[in-house]
Amino acid sequence: MAGVLAGGSIAKAMTIRKMKKSEATSEENAKKPEELGVHRSYLDRLVKLGRVKRTEDDRYYVECKDGKHC
């Protein structure tokens, strides 16, 4: 069970890192799931967890307020 939880955490971190690398850090730069190479249902889970934001036209981004951790 612990391995499954650890794997999920790693996958979340990798997805968020991928989004930051593709500069999807604001609503203006948000990307579609196809551009990110991530399944839409997985991104929706991250939205529910509050880690990722979704725009009205179904693009996703990582909110970066301070500019330091992006």
In a domain, 66, yes or no: no
In a domain, 68, yes or no: no
Higher-confidence position of 2 and 57: 57
In a domain, 20, yes or no: yes
In a domain, 37, yes or no: yes
pLDDT tens for residues 21-51? Answer: 999 999 999 999 999 999 999 999 999 999 9
In a domain, 70, yes or no: no
In a domain, 53, yes or no: yes
What is the number of structural domains in the chain?
Answer: 1
What is the 3 state secondary structure string of the chain? Answer: CHHHHHHHHHHHHHHHHHHHHCCCCCCCCCECHHHHCCCHHHHHHHHHHCCCEECCCCCEECCCCCCCCC
pLDDT of residue 5: 46
pTM of the shown model: 0.82
Q: Which domain holds residue 24?
A: 2-61
